[in-house]
Homo-oligomer: A and B are copies of this chain.
C-alpha cells in the first residue's frame, strides 16, 4: 500500500476522491455531496441536511473560547449552511465526545449556548449521541431544514452579467482570532493577566459568536429577489468566490473598494501590520452570505440594508480577479483555512 499524506490532497481533494464512486440511488435524493446542504425530496417540501464537526485543538481553543459561545457557534455555523440554500432550518442533532477533564457543569454551559441558538432561530434539537473521548472535546452537529423546491439556491446558478453581493462585513472574525491569540501568548504563565480587549468587542463577537444571516434571507424575500447562486462565507471570500465560479462555470470581478470592512477590523490589521484586504478576502469564519443576482435586480439590491454589491459575474474565460483601487487586476486564489495544514 502506497503512502500519500492527506495534506497533499487537502480537504476538498480528499472528499472528491472519497465520494466520487457514490452514485445516487434514491429518487428522494435531489442533491447529495457538493453543496452547502443535501436536498431530499420528502413530499411537497424539500428537506435540507447539513453537518459540521468542531474539534478541540483544531477548530477551537478553550483557553479563550467560553463553552457557551462554543455551543452557540456550533449551531450557528450549521444554520448558516441551511440559509445559504435559501432554506429554513428546523431541527438539529448534536453529538459530543467529551474527555475526562470536562464536568457536567461544563457540558451544561456548552448546552446553554446550543439552547440559546435553538431558541433564537426556532430550531428543535431532535437527537444526537454522547460519548466519552480519549482527549478533548468534539462537537458534531447535523441540521435539517426545509425549502420549497422553487426557492432553493445552489452554488451552480450564477450567470454572466449577474451581480455579486455579500452581506455584513468581512475579516472581523479572523482579526478577532488574531487578537485572542495575541492576548493568550501575552498572558501565558501570568497568574493575574488581564487581556486588553477594549474597543475590540466587535472583533471578539464576530469570532466567538457568529450569527447565521436569517435577516439577509428575510430581506431578499421582502424585496422579491431570488439569488441565482449563494453560499456562506466560512473559508474566506476568495475561496467561496472560486467555488461559485467553478460550480457555475463562470468568471468574476470583485472590486477592492467595495469589500465591506468594519472600522475595528481595519484598526486591528494596522496594529498587527497585516494586509487588510488579504484578511478580508481570506480570513474565514465570517458566516456572511455571498450571492449573485440577475443584473435586472440591480436597483433592488442597491437598496439592501443587510448586503452590498461587490462585483459581477463574467464569462469563464475572463477568470476570477479582484480589481484593486489602482485598477490593476489581482487573480483570486483560495488561501482559506485548511484543517489538514493546521493540524
Contacts and interface: CB of A to CB of B under 8 A. Distances in A.
A96 B33 CA distance: 15
A33 B132 contact: no
Contacts of A104: 4-6, 8-9, 14, 17
A158 B73 CA distance: 40
A222 interface: no
Interface string A102-117: 1111011001000100
Contacts of A21: 115
Interface stretch (A138-146, A259-267, A294-302): A138-146
B51 A129 contact: yes
Interface string A23-64: 011101101110001101011110101111101111100000
Interface stretch (A120-128, A191-199, A246-254): A120-128
Chain A, interface SS category: mixed
A3 B43 CA distance: 48
A53 B59 CA distance: 18
Contacts of A144: 40, 47, 49, 144
Interface of A: 1-6, 8-9, 11, 14-15, 17-19, 21-22, 24-26, 28-29, 31-33, 37-38, 40, 42-45, 47, 49-53, 55-59, 90-91, 93, 95-100, 102-105, 107-108, 111, 115, 118, 122-136, 138, 140, 142, 144, 146, 339-340, 342-343
